[in-house]
Amino acid sequence: MNLKPFLMLSALLLAGAGNDPSPKYWILQGPRLDALAMVNSPDAVRFLSQPGRIVIYPAIAAVPAPSSWHVILWRKFGSLALFQEAIDRGKVGNGVQIVGYDPEKWQFTPDNEQADPAGSMIAFAKLAHAHGYKVIVTPAENLMTRNGPGRNKFQAFLDSGIAKQVAPYVDFYHIQAQGLQHNIDGPEPSYRSFVRDMIAQIHGANPNCIVTVGISTNTPGGGGGPTSPQDIAAAVRAVDPMVSGYWMNVVHDDAQTAVDALKLIDSTPQ
């Protein structure tokens, strides 16, 4: 394992994310990363091998990360209860440095955790830190729809103040803004304004928290159809000065879209 990422991570946490615009973290997730073309595409491998780019890579993956990448291993949990079980059984994973908690309105997060996402994320972070892990939380805005349809879920999430409640306890906060990707600067909350306002909450509560944001090859805002590489690159350009990294969500068979987007992003100053 290349130790350079861990030294960079420690330095960034000590210095504060707001004081240094680099490095850029790229979060990858999924049991079949080979199918996402991230480890087989020369363009993707080259992009993620460049200095200043750190890959947060799943400890449980079908294929290892290319040796040229600066890798930090992570494992994501949809449930605080499952993380507690993994801790109790010593099954978090060899080499894992970062653990993630992804509470959403879905079957992987128990109802009681959905009902109190801030409390559950804080409990997760305290447990993780007690066992020596760094923490990333990735809550979905659909938690705001548990009681049925209503106001805009992104605005409701901002108004809930969950981010500023949780930020003091975590090392990384991931903003699931990809659902706004087709509305970069349109009616608010837009992609840019939502990321901006979330970061204001997060850094207002914890200036050292490292913030990443979601980009996707397929977003509901585009009518549920494929997103173009140009759309993804435009989203990155819109928020890049504000964030410390990205999670590329590759949906269905859109791997080439992701690779083509990385090529476009590579031509944009980081």
> What percentage of the chain's residues is helix, strand, coil (to nearest 5)?
45, 15, 40
Give the count of domains, the chain.
Answer: 1
Is residue 130's pLDDT more than 80? Answer: yes
Letter string b/e over residues 96-109, b meaning 16 or more CB atoms within 10 A of that residue's CB: bbbbbbbbbbeeeb
5 occurs within a structural domain: no
- What's the pLDDT at 34? 55
Is residue 145's pLDDT more than 70? Answer: yes
Question: Which residue reads 């659902």 in tokens?
Answer: 179
229 occurs within a structural domain: yes
80 occurs within a structural domain: yes
- What are the two backbone dihedrals, phi and then psi, of residue 53, each rounded to the nearest 5 degrees? -110, 125
36 occurs within a structural domain: no
136 occurs within a structural domain: yes
Is residue 33's pLDDT more than 70? Answer: no
221: pLDDT confidence band, cut at 50, 70 and 90? low
16: pLDDT confidence band, cut at 50, 70 and 90? very low
18: pLDDT confidence band, cut at 50, 70 and 90? very low
164 occurs within a structural domain: yes
Q: What is the pLDDT of residues 154-194, one digit of tens each?
A: 999 999 999 999 999 999 999 999 999 999 999 999 999 99
Question: Which percentage of the chain shows pLDDT scores above 70?
Answer: 84
Q: Which domain holds residue 226?
A: 73-266
256: pLDDT confidence band, cut at 50, 70 and 90? confident
36: pLDDT confidence band, cut at 50, 70 and 90? low
127: pLDDT confidence band, cut at 50, 70 and 90? very high
Question: Which residue reads 């109802």 in tokens?
Answer: 111
- Mean pLDDT in residue range 17-36: 66
CB 249 within 8 A of CB 215: yes
Contacts of 155 (CB under 8 A, 6+ apart): 188, 189
- What's the pLDDT at 163? 98
- Mean pLDDT in residue range 41-65: 89
Q: What is the pLDDT of residues 21-30, one digit of tens each?
A: 468 999 988 6
Q: What is the pLDDT of residues 90-106, one digit of tens each?
A: 999 999 999 999 999 99
Question: Which residue reads 């010593």 in tokens?
Answer: 90
CB atoms closer than 10 angstroms to residue 153: 18
250: pLDDT confidence band, cut at 50, 70 and 90? confident
94 occurs within a structural domain: yes
Is residue 206's pLDDT more than 50? Answer: yes
Is residue 235's pLDDT more than 60? Answer: yes
User: Which CATH number belongs to the domain containing residue 91 in this structure?
Assistant: 3.20.20.70
3 occurs within a structural domain: no
